[in-house]
Amino acid sequence: QKEVEQDPGPLSVPEGAIVSLNCTYSNSAFQYFMWYRQYSRKGPELLMYTYSSGNKEDGRFTAQVDKSSKYISLFIRDSQPSDSATYLCAMKGAGGSYIPTFGRGTSLIVHP
């Protein structure tokens, strides 16, 4: 079993839909949880960064962490075609340098 599981998709939704992206993990030591967006042939860019359990909102994006279930989610409201990209979850434990474990990414397609 991989440490971080993420459905690769693709996930295809109409413009304006609410998108839900998810990851599960097995390592209970993970404390920091991130979501990255990666456009085709580009490097990933950090979207959301949360510590421990709870919700965090930033514009149209909401990140949720449920440590008891080892489950994290990213919600995108009012999705736009420009949101079409691969979304990677990442997580790491406390301490040490910044070396997260990445999920394989979910490909999202928002069609007009």
Partner 1 sequence: GAVVSQHPSRVICKSGTSVKIECRSLDFQATTMFWYRQFPKQSLMLMATSNEGSKATYEQGVEKDKFLINHASLTLSTLTVTSAHPEDSSFYICSAEGPGTSGYNEQFFGPGTRLTVL
Distance CA 21, CA 69 (A): 16
- Counting contacts by CB under 8 A, is residue 103 touching partner 1? yes
Which position among 22, 75, 100, 109 is part of the footprint of partner 1 (CB under 8 A)? 100
Nearer to partner 1, 40 or 82 (CB): 40
Q: Are 23 and 103 in contact (CB under 8 A)?
A: yes
Nearer to partner 1, 49 or 75 (CB): 49
* Count of CB atoms situated within 10 Å of the CB of 75: 17
Q: Give yes or no for a cis peptide into 81 (omega within 30° of 0).
A: no
Could you tell me the smallest distance in angstroms from the CB atom of residue 28 to partner 1?
A: 20
Say which amino acid occupies 45: E
Which position among 45, 57, 66, 78 is part of the footprint of partner 1 (CB under 8 A)? 45
Q: Which tokens go with 14? A: 């109409």
Q: Are 11 and 107 in contact (CB under 8 A)?
A: yes
Beta bridge partners of 85: 108
- Counting contacts by CB under 8 A, is residue 43 touching partner 1? yes
Nearer to partner 1, 42 or 111 (CB): 42
58-97: which residues touch partner 1 (CB under 8 A)? 88, 97
Interacting residues with partner 1 (CB under 8 A): 6, 8, 32, 36, 41-46, 49, 51, 88, 97-100, 102-105, 107
